[in-house]
Amino acid sequence: MKKVFNIIICLLPLAALAQKIDRTKAPAPGKAPIIQVGSPVKFTLPNGLKVFVVKNTKLPRVIASLNFNLDGFKEADKAGLADMAGQLVKRGTSTKTKEQIDEAVEYLGGSLSTSSASAVASSLKSNFPALFGLMSEVILHPALSAEELEKVRKQTISGIESNKDDADAIAENVVKKLVYGANHPFGEIMTTKTVNAIKVEDVKSFVNNYWKPNIASLFFVGDIEPMEAKKLAEKYLGTWQKGNVPAQQFEKSAKPAKTYVAVVDRPSSVQSVVTIATPIQLVKGAPNDIASNVMNNILGGGFSGRLFANLREKHGFTYGAYSSLQSNKYVGIFKAEASVRNEKTDSSIQETLAEINKIRSEKVGEDELSRMKNYLAGGFARSLENPTTIAGFALNIDKYNLPADYYQKYLTNLALVSAAQVQEVATSLLQPSQMHIVVVGDAKQVAKGLEKYGEVKYFDIEGNEVAAPKEVKADASLTVEKLLNNTIQAMGGKEQIEKIKDAQLNGKVSVMGQSIDVVQKIIQPGSAVMLMSMGGMVVSKQAVVDGKYEVSQQGMQAPITDEIKEGLDESTYLVPELMYQQKGYKLNIVGIEKVDGKDAIDVEITSPSGKKSHRFYDKETYLLVKTAKVEKGPQGPITQQQYYKNYQKVEGVSFAKEAVMDLGQFKMNLNFEAIKVNQGIKPDDLK
Amino acid sequence: MKKQFLLSCLLLFIGATAFGQSIQFEKYVLSNGLKVILHEDHSAPVVAVTALYHVGSKNEDTARTGFAHFFEHLLFEGSENIKRGEFDKYVTNAGGALNANTSQDRTFYYELLPSNQVELGLWLESERMMHAKIEQIGVNTQREVVKEEKRQRMDNRPYGSFLNEMLKRAFKVHPYRWSPIGSMDHLNAAKLEEFIQFYKTYYVPNNCVLSIAGDFNKAELKEKIAAYFGTIPTGTLAINRPSIKEPALGGEVRDIIYDNVQLPGVFQAYRAPKQGGDEYYAFNVLSTILSGGASSRMNKVLVDKKQEAAAAQSVPFFNEDEGVLITLAIANVGVKIETLEQSMDSVTFQLKNELVGEREFQKVKNQITSDLVASKATMAGIAESLANNEVYFGDANLINTELEKYNKVTREDLLNVAKKYLNKDNRVVLYYLPKQKAVSK
């Protein structure tokens, strides 16, 4: 029978009801509510399946939840196997296709989900027996077909691809691999490669080996009588055969010998995801379990943790900063995490470490401690609103061999936690000198200065160590003159270039199925026009013909400034490097940058009017590979970048057949389909 | 066959209504205009104290967007009797939880507390309404926090900008054209005086519904509510309630957004009527047909059969004045975005061409029935539903009668709504495409 335990919440003071309110201080709490932690009805089927029933008639719903006691499963070069097997289980049975199962479940207004170590179904009470029948069918007779595996594989790979750009997902992967180690099941990262290695036989052997009733617990929660639940369990899962489950053995995850910084370079980041983490030995129900939880909440639990107060409220570095502590029978983890703006990466690490040091070195005040206990006690009371909480309690008691009254005594034990215990668990669990500090962000902007926390190492998004992004200095012997000469040579040489009197380039930009035609005509030196048209209509024109300048957008003339004149004049040269020095441009070699993965020489160019821009020349070929300049936009400065690719010689002179224009939010590819030279173009042809 | 089918429908239907629990509540108005809704329930020692202010981003000045959401942050800064930064501490110290959220129509604050702390909730909410601290230091701090929130939720997250991008194209004149996060430049430019003015205008008892659900004694609670809220003066400043009618879209709007994403995505928004009418309920049913569960059409066709989408969803985004039905899909690796869009269209447009089958129609009604029951699982959910229904429809009791509205929807209604609204010239289509890898500057 269902037993009910009554617990009085802590020893909160009783407040007399005031007739008039005093606004100047918070009202005292009322009489502590009586908290009832119901105990589920429990029985075991002959095949070893443990069944728990938590009756709760508040809503006419029932949830059935099957959980396998399966913590960690080593997958090695098949990382993702258990996850994918878990998904595959509900995708077809010996008698039903996936589509039929989905439809049948949803026709009952229910839901059914499966994962590597669980199956959960819920619906309104009236439809529950039918739904439970479907649930048992996927548990006992999953089809595990090759066809469905391919679908799951494809989706999983898409998920992996999509996560490659998600800073939080990257952080999560790299942190787990570094903290637990690549050889620990908790540290394995799914990659396209490991997912592709999974075969249908692997999935079948996983399900056959591990989905056994003797390591499983089944919960019924909601508007259901225990007898009814028992009948359902026996009817649908009574025939399930027990079996030996292979034992699992893992290496221990060790703390790093010394604190270090792991940087994952994500150049597009506007925020750094900073995680300070370490493996911990903490088991649910251990003597320090509750004190550890109190400690973690003081440090970084929600809105009233110290990390939140410091990093968000005091400094405004972030939207939120939190810590978490996970216990586990093999190895647990501590994490302090925040997404902070780039320039505050260093400061955020500093403040987080300072808070960790503080909770170790200073005893928490009685006031803060009792407030945190109230917080946890209240949270405990509120969690009882959800009937599955009781099921979760029973699961933990069973899984971790906790005393049967662990949760009944939880509030009493919580009240006993002392400041000394809090400090002791902080000291024993958190060693600031043995932390992984993981930063996912724009290394160029944020990595500087992080050496003070330990060696700075670089990792890719799969947690493999990589070389630091090189900061290459340009060759000191390379002068501007040499560079210009090399470039001019690479483009075909002065003589060849000057032999070209005129050129016409026809290209296309395609945007969303719409095609823009681009025509560029040049008469060297002095005259040039660029026309862009859509469906025969000219949408943009830029021209200089015999000293007359014109810039128009959709027929609207733009005012001509000196800067525009300069730009147009420059466009009349196929190789402006020929004229830079004569015309008074100042050039300065700034350094080396990667362009499309290759080293390029970055040259800052200052025009006679003072306009600055950058040109990047490939370090090996000296061909122009990129230009960059900052223009004023309606919402502030915009960096315009153009990339030049696929050089081909026409009459001995190199032309880039492909240009990519990148305006930050907008990017388009321009392909030149035809390049003709010396056709005798006249200035009139440019008008 | 037919008979059996009808019988099973009938059983399901009886099953659902026989157990549909009625939510009892009391509603009254204080003399200062504050609406109070109370739902007493002793099943767990918890209480949800909520305050819904009828102000969202649509009430904002076009030069001061982001104000409503900014207040959702600012009003945790403290009051005359609550020191700066301590508002949330009172709640967490009591073992409670609190938060707030802002939509285009309203701002919602809540405290979830152990039931012996219900008075704390009243004190906090009455302090917030009576004399919150609007000071420069709080403005400055929260401005940084909001900027980080924007970076984290929109700028740093793949596809995170889609709602902003969608709204500004779907609406040309209505204030729904901006999303609650608003403009950081506007927040930077705003003077302290303007924040104070906004507070005095919108944070007044006559613009608020106080909705409380949970374990309390109603008679005692009513006395306390009168004591805490009764003396707060009625607001006198004019509340801006825009009555702008957004004209028809007048043709399909298409655009490309280059973002830090790996997989291309298609985001479509069909302009739709405002919430609450018959068409609104039909739209929600349509949306469930499209993406409610694994057997829904988008999941079945796009994700499963054709395997063109890694994920596909339809989101009914309905508001007080106007709505949109959003359909979106993220392409699987190697799938052309145009192909994906074509498949999405064929799924969506099928709703215009064919009557939904009887069994499928019954299926989505069963799903909706189930969801409506589930939405009553928490005191917080109940308190929020009661407040929303009161503010939007003047009918808190809709929480008990909403199922009837859904049951009135016929298959023909679905066809009509689809024909009327799910048209190309009534939609915005955005392609999200990956920025190329080469960018290094």
A-B Cβ pairs (cutoff 8 Å, strict): 275
DSSP A414-461: HHH--HHHHHHHHHHH--GGG-EEEEEE-HHHHSTTGGGGSEEEEE-T
Is the CB of residue A279 less than 8 Å from the CB of residue A255?
Answer: yes
- Out of B93, B145, B295, the one facing A106 most closely (by C-beta) is B295
Report CB contact under 8 Å: B148, A341: yes
Contact call for A27 and B122, based on CB within 8 A: yes
**Which band of pLDDT confidence, cut at 50, 70 and 90, is reported for residue B3?**
very low
What mean pLDDT do residues A166-179 have?
94
Cβ of A313 under 8 Å from any chain B Cβ?
A: yes
A268: nearest CB among B16, B141, B260: B260
pLDDT at B308 over 60: yes
Nearest to B158 among A29, A154, A162 (CB): A162
- Report the residue from A157, A268, A512 with minimal CB separation from B431: A512
* Cβ-Cβ contacts under 8 Å, B438 against chain A: 595-597, 643, 660
pLDDT band at A285 (very low <50, low <70, confident <90, very high): confident
Whether A71 shows a pLDDT value over 80: the answer reads no
* pLDDT (0 to 100) of residue A442: 83
Q: What's the CA gap between A461 and A328, in Å, rounded?
A: 26
For the residues A247-262, what does the mean pLDDT come to?
Answer: 89
- Using a CB-CB cut-off of 8 Å, the residues of chain B touching A57 are none
CA–CA min distance B45, chain A (Å): 6
pLDDT at A681: 86
Question: Is A666 near chain B, with CB under 8 Å?
Answer: yes
Measured over the CA atoms of residue B278, residue B280, residue B283 and residue B284, the dihedral's sign is negative
- Chain B, 59-118: which have a CB under 8 Å from a chain A CB? 80-81, 85, 88-90, 92-98, 112-118
Q: Is the pLDDT of residue A14 over 60?
A: no
A552: burial class by Cβ within 10 Å (0-12, 13-18, 19+)? middle
pLDDT number for residue A547: 85
Best of A10, A162, A592 to disrupt the B interface (most B CBs within 10 Å) is: A162
CA distance B368 to B284: 9
Average pLDDT of the segment spanning B24-36: 97
CB contact under 8 A, A27 and B120: yes
- Using DSSP's 3-state secondary structure scheme, residue B163 falls into helix
A528 - beta bridge partners? A522, A544
Is A8's Cβ below 8 Å from some Cβ in B? no
CA A589 vs CA A476, A601, A602: distances in Å: 10, 7, 6
- Structure confidence by residue, pLDDT tens digits, B185-243: 999 999 999 999 999 999 999 999 999 999 999 999 999 999 999 999 999 999 999 99
Q: Is the pLDDT of residue A665 over 50?
A: no
Residue B210: predicted pLDDT: 98
CA angle at A655 for the pair A653 and A661, rounded to the nearest 5°: 160
Q: Averaged over A521-533, what is the pLDDT?
A: 87
**Residue in A154, A313, A340 nearest the CB of B85:** A313
| Residue whose token pair is 């679905």 | B414
Among all residues of chain B, which has the CA nearest to that of A162? B262
CA distance A670 to chain B (A): 14
- Which runs of E-coded beta strand occur in A27-164? 34-38, 41-44, 50-55, 61-68, 111-115, 118-124
Using the Cβ of B141 and the Cβ atoms of chain A, whether some distance falls under 8 Å is answered with yes
A111 - beta bridge partners? A122
CB-CB neighbors (< 8 A) of B158 in chain A: 162, 165-166
| CB contact A473 to B (< 8 Å) | no
B261 compared with B353, residue with greater pLDDT:
B353
Task: Give φ, ψ of A581 to 5 degrees.
Answer: -75, -40
Contact B378 A380 (CB under 8 A): no
Spatial separation of the C-alpha atoms in residues A66 and A136, rounded to whole Å = 10
- In angstroms, the first-to-last Cα distance of chain B is 68
Q: Are A418 and A363 in contact (CB under 8 A)?
A: no
Pick A161's closest partner by Cβ from B156, B263, B294: B263
B27 strand-pairing partners: B37
pLDDT for B219 equals: 95
Query: Are A106 and B254 in contact (CB < 8 Å)?
Result: no
User: For the residues B61-88, what does the mean pLDDT come to?
Assistant: 93
Count the alpha carbons within 13 Å of B265 in the hemisphere toward its beta carbon.
Answer: 26
Q: Looking at per-residue confidence, does B4 or B182 come out higher?
A: B182
Q: Which of B330, B333, B403 to mutate to test the interface with A (most CBs of A within 10 A)?
A: B333
Among B289, B375, B343, smallest CA distance to B21 is for: B375
Mean model confidence pLDDT for chain A: 88
Kindly report the number of other CB atoms within 10 A of residue B157's CB atom: 20
Confidence of residue A17 (pLDDT cuts 50, 70, 90): very low
Identify the pLDDT of residue A663: 60
For chain A, positions 233-292, list CB contacts with chain B under 8 A. 267-271
Q: Tell me which residue in A158, A165, A304 faces B310 most closely, judged by beta carbons.
A: A158
| Whole-number Å distance between alpha carbons of A662 and A665 | 8
Of A159, A267, A319, the CB nearest to B149: A319
CA distance A435 to chain B (A): 25
DSSP three-state, residue B253: strand
Across residues A313-340, what is the average pLDDT? 92
Q: What is A534-601 written as a DSSP string?
A: ETTEEEEEEEEETTEEEEEETTEEPP--HHHHHHHHHTT-SSGGGTTTTTT-EEEEEEEEEETTEEEE
Chain B residues near residue A30 by CB distance under 8 angstroms: 115-119
What is the pLDDT at residue B20?
Answer: 53
Cα torsion at A650, A655, A657, A658 (round to 10°)? 180
Q: Does B300 touch chain A (CB under 8 A)?
A: yes
Q: Residue range B110-129: average pLDDT?
A: 96
Closest-CA residue of B relative to A30 is B116
Q: Which of A143, A140, A147, A156 is nearest to A81 (CA)?
A: A156
Which runs of consecutive H residues, i.e. helices, occur in B151-277? 162-170, 184-189, 192-202, 218-229
pTM: predicted TM-score of the whole model, two decimal places: 0.72
- What's the pLDDT score for residue A124? 96
B424 lies within 8 A of chain A by CB: no
How confident is the model at residue B21, as a pLDDT? 66
Q: What is the pLDDT of residue B11?
A: 34
pLDDT at A682: 85
Q: Which of A37-51, A149-163, A332-346 has the lowest mean pLDDT?
A: A149-163
pLDDT at A609 over 90: no
Neighbours of A646 (CB within 10 A): 11
* Least trusted range by pLDDT, from A636-645, B147-156, B178-187: A636-645
A542: phi then psi, degrees, rounded to nearest 5 = -135, 125
Residue A344: the pLDDT is 93
pLDDT at A638: 58
CB contact under 8 A, A124 and B16: yes
Q: DSSP character for A108?
A: T
pLDDT tens sequence across B281-303: 999 999 999 999 999 999 999 99
The verdict on A632 touching B (C-beta cutoff 8 Å) is no
- Residue A514 three-state SS: strand
| Contact assessment for residue A527 and residue A508, using Cβ atoms and an 8 Å cutoff | no
Q: Which residue has the tokens 């009882």?
A: A384
pLDDT given at position A227: 96
DSSP state of B191: -
For residue A539, pLDDT over 50 is answered with yes
Are A662 and B439 within 8 A, CB to CB? yes
Question: How far B353 CA sits from the closest chain A CA (Å)?
Answer: 22
Residue B12 pLDDT greater than 70, yes or no:
no
Q: How confident is the model at residue B19 (pLDDT cuts 50, 70, 90)?
A: very low
Helix (H) or strand (E) holding A218: strand A216-222
Q: Do B12 and A126 touch (CB under 8 A)?
A: yes
Q: In chain B, whose CA is at the least distance from the CA of A388?
A: B377
Sort strands B26-29 and B35-40 into parallel, antiparallel or unpaired: antiparallel
| Token pair recorded at residue A273 | 């995801």
Nearest-angstrom CA–CA distance, B259 and B434: 5
Mean pLDDT for the stretch of residues A657-668: 71
The predicted model gives A395-408 an average pLDDT of: 88
pLDDT at A332: 93
- Per-residue model confidence (pLDDT) at position A21: 87
Smallest CA–CA distance, residue B46 to chain A, in Å, is 6
Question: Quick check: bond before A525 cis, omega within 30?
Answer: yes
Do B378 and A309 make contact, defined as CB atoms within 8 angstroms? no
User: What is the pLDDT at residue B341?
Assistant: 97
Probe site for chain A from B169, B229, B307, B370 (most A CB atoms < 10 A): B370
Q: Are strands B265-272 and B323-331 parallel, antiparallel or unpaired?
A: antiparallel
CA of A103 vs chain B CAs: smallest distance (Å): 5
Q: Which residue does chain B place closest to A148, by CA atoms?
A: B304
Average pLDDT, chain B: 90
For the cut 90, the answer to whether the pLDDT of residue A566 exceeds it is no
Residues 313-332 of B with CB under 8 A from A: 330-332
**CA A605/CA A588 separation, integer angstroms:** 7
What integer is the mean pLDDT of B375-379?
92
pLDDT(A16) > 60: no
CA dist., res. A676 & res. A505, Å (int):
7
> Measured between beta carbons, which residues in chain B are less than 8 angstroms from residue A339?
148, 151-152, 156
Q: Which of residues 347-366 of A touch B (CB under 8 A)?
A: none
Segment B104-122 shows an average pLDDT of 95
Contact assessment for residue A241 and residue A47, using Cβ atoms and an 8 Å cutoff = yes
Determine the average pLDDT of the residues in A57-83: 91
* A638 near B CB under 8 A: no
Coil, helix or strand for A478?
coil
DSSP H helices in A301-399: 306-307, 345-361, 366-383, 388-399
